[in-house]
Amino acid sequence: MGKLDGRVTLVTGASRGIGAAIAKRFGAEGARVAITARTLDQHEHLEGSLLETARQIEAFGGEALPIVGDLADPSGLEDIVGQAESALGPIEVLVNNAAAAFYLPFTKTSEKRFRVANDINFFAPWRLSQLVVPGMRERGEGWILNISSATSILPEQTTFKDFDALSILYGSTKAALERFTAGLAAAVHSDGIWVNSMAPVGAVPTEGTEALGVVPDEALAVAESREAMAEASLALCTTRDPALTARITYCTPLLEELGLETHACDGKTRIGSPLEVDAAKLR
């Protein structure tokens, strides 16, 4: 019996990278997973697609529902939830993973990119949570996980020498996401709903981060695997610990705190260390 047997889950940004790993891991635990992204079939430049993620979920024993959607378009968010719930039932677990990362100088960041980053990184999680919380309240339980970033951390006010000035926009949206996480957790804790955020300590090598080519060496030095991120996500989306909510957590520290080992996305193959491993053959 899987930890998510029959649970209806919605994972955003699940065509590749962290979102795909989370969706596959949840599927391996028996979840009925609605996955959404802009790419149904193969992307022009990046590997991965919703159909590929869906095939893996089904191969691992889960049920998958690909939903094409653009989280930068606020008018389509209700339709994403509607499609998921019409086909699978009320959403019990929501993972807000999709993100737009623009690494640009402050004075070179356009209004359009500012709005896209805020729409995807902050408003979409806000609105999707609004759409699923009433049902969770009615059932008396639910789990919401927001995938964040270490770029949200305030810069050191001494020399600022380690601050990445290109991350101002991305880090600001993730800081807003974390404040939202804590506030929502406080508002719904008595309804049996767990709300947390979780981020990698440094970076997670994915198709997207590799394409950006802006991840600093110091971040890669403490990089965590997609499988580790999926393992930590699973823990936060199955917990019933009343103290494990409103947490602004980080992947490796959380796995170490909970004494968990990382598994491949099939849920069976033991990897062990939460630190980055060469797991390409296991995906």
Letter for the amino acid at 72? A
What does the radius of gyration of the chain's CA atoms come to, in whole angstroms? 17
CB 13 within 8 A of CB 50: no
Distance CA 38, CA 21 (A): 17
Residue closest to 251 by CA, chosen among 277, 213, 224: 224
Residue closest to 80 by CA, chosen among 38, 23, 44: 38
Give catalytic residues, as residue numbers. 170
Residue closest to 147 by CA, chosen among 109, 97, 183: 97
H runs (alpha helix) in the chain: 17-28, 50-59, 77-88, 111-118, 124-139, 168-188, 207-212, 217-220, 226-236, 251-258
Q: What are phi and psi of 232, to 5 degrees?
A: -65, -35
